[in-house]
Amino acid sequence: MISDDVRRQIAAGESNITAFIADPADIDHIAATVAGFLNANGGILFIGVAQSGKIVGVGSDIEAEERRREIEHHLRDRISPEALFTVSVDVEKDRPIITIEVPQGRDGPYAVNRAFYVRRGASTVQFDDATLSQFLRNRAIETQRWERRPSVGMLDSDISFPEINRLMADAQRTGRFDFTGREDGMSLLGRLGLLSGGDPTQAADVLFGKEPELRHPQCRVRYIRYESDKVGDRFADDRWISGPLGLVFDQLVERLAATVHIQATFEPGNPVRQDRPTYSMAALREGVVNALAHRDYADFSSGVTISVFPGRIEIWNSGKLPSALKIADLKKVHPSIPTNPDITFILYLRGLMDRLGRGTQKILLGCRELGARPPRWESKASGITLTIYSASNSDVDPVFLNERQRRLIERLRPGDVVRATDYMVEEDISERQARRDLSDMDAAGLLEKVGSARATAYRRTEREV
């Protein structure tokens, strides 16, 4: 089913970041729209939605998946240079639609059969000569990003060709890239934009280097398991994990899976035992791949650290939120602004990343389905930390509420929203006290902060006291 956020986006109509195309066979229009988003600020294209916003669908479920693959194949073939976007099938009231999520491009201008397009307002228009010249001037003065620079000192013998073969097998399985089957490893890296002047880029080193940490020590990931919930207490495990990024991901997920236990519970009135894991593996996988994709690789002091405590797992990476996003945006569908698009694209081809801008939604959903405390993101100058809490009742911090807070929680149902000004009037307290009460309940996972500044409100979660 389509999420409420996407449903609201469709209901709001076409804009500079939203486009509708009813006919999935109109591939020229689809390609131009995707290129237009790439050359602007990104956006989402909904296929099977009329200009009025009415969902008309793209056929049956089977037809929708076939059309999805055809559209992705045509877009990869027609748009140049190689671009990052995701093509997915969503269903609304038994009517499948195809959703193409497009981040802002980093290597434009992007062309469709040598024609350049850009999104302006609710329309996609072709570049005129003056716009194209200005676009090229702006790109010329941009500093080449870290992942596109040659990896100094890397030789052909340093490349893990088995990892390249894994990429080809995974991409063929997901249907996200069309390999001819005749490419050797180096020519394939060239097709994927991972060569610079014939030499592997730093992104290629991170992804396919046998020992990338020799040239880029910041690529290593630290994994720590604590014996108690206190930071700095005794370690049960403390190690550095390195190698090609895909293998690093596999090792991290394997170690996290070993910390997940199955707990037996009995619900009131139901004599049948319910078995549930202490953590959602889908949430943990998403948290790990997001950290590996969005971290800052350019800083030698940067990195990723995964800290496992008895009651929570913290995933820290040295990246920063783009200026257009705030922490509150991570809890809803948001535009994807990849820090390392080349690395992100390979993770997408391998099926390790799914839909752009939706990873945080999978983390929230995975925790909610287990009845765990909502995950928390924290952004500091040193980086971003994601905390995922255990669903084990014995591991969840007890919640202590004052009488005001208890009255509020008793009358709110999951999904209900309250504002500080309303709570202040109802309880006859100061605005400062009202905000403190609501903030405490947000920290306890009973409420979830939405909006910002004067639009700030708090939504009741499904966590019980």
Burial class (CB in 10 A: 0-12, 13-18, 19+), 313: buried
At residue 379's C-alpha, the angle toward residues 373 and 381, to 5°, is 150
pLDDT per position as a tens digit, 21-32: 999 999 999 999
C-alpha to C-alpha distance for 252 and 90, rounded to whole angstroms: 30
Distances (CA, A) of 334 to 276, 326, 327, 358, 380: 30, 10, 11, 7, 20
Instruction: Dig out the tokens for 153 from the structure.
Output: 């000192």
Q: Name the more confident of 335 and 291.
A: 291
The domain ranges of the chain are: 4-142, 147-214, 217-395, 403-460
Least Cα distance to 342 among 249, 207, 252 occurs for 207
Cross-strand partners of 7: none
242-250: average pLDDT: 97
pLDDT in tens, 420-432: 999 999 999 999 9
At 46 the three-state DSSP class reads strand
Q: State the amino acid at position 347 in one-letter form.
A: L
Is the CATH code 3.30.565.60 the one for domain 217-395? yes
Which pTM value belongs to this model?
Answer: 0.75
**Lowest mean per-residue pLDDT among 10-19, 248-257, 259-268, 311-320:** 259-268
Amino acid at 465: V
Distance CA 194, CA 332 (A): 32
Tell me the one-letter amino acid at 279. Y
Who has greater pLDDT, 461 or 47?
47
Q: How far apart are CA 103 and CA 348, in angstroms?
A: 13
Average pLDDT, the chain: 88
Q: d(Cα 332, Cα 361) in Å, to the nearest integer? A: 7
Buried b / exposed e over 110-146, threshold 16 CB at 10 Å, is: bbbeeebbbbeeeebeebeeebbeebeeeeeeeeebb
Class for the domain spanning 4-142:
alpha beta
> Residues 151-174: pLDDT tens digits?
999 999 999 999 999 999 888 887
Distance CA 47, CA 256 (A): 38
Q: For 254-284, how does the pLDDT look when each residue is reduced to its tens digit (9 = 90+)?
A: 999 999 988 766 566 666 667 789 999 999 9
Q: Are strands 43-47 and 18-21 parallel, antiparallel or unpaired?
A: parallel
Query: Longest C-alpha distance within the chain, in Å?
Result: 74
Of all helices (H) and strands (E), which one includes residue 432? Answer: helix 431-443
Q: CB within 8 A of 216, min separation 6: which ones?
A: 151, 202, 205, 206, 297
Q: Is the pLDDT of residue 438 over 90?
A: yes
- Side by side, the strands of the sheet bearing 115-120 are 79-80, 111-112, 115-120, 123-126
Q: What is the mean pLDDT of residues 288-310?
A: 93
Q: What percent of the chain has pLDDT over 90?
A: 53
403-460 to CATH, choices 4.10.1240.10, 1.10.1740.10, 3.50.50.60, 1.10.10.10:
1.10.10.10
Inter-residue contact 72 to 310 (CB < 8 Å): no
Region class of 121: left (phi > 0), else alpha (psi between -120 and 50), else beta: left
Identify the band that residue 133 occupies on the pLDDT scale cut at 50, 70 and 90. Answer: confident
pLDDT band for position 243 (50/70/90)? very high
Q: Pull the structure tokens for residue 379.
A: 């952004």
- Calpha distance 46→73 (Å, rounded): 17
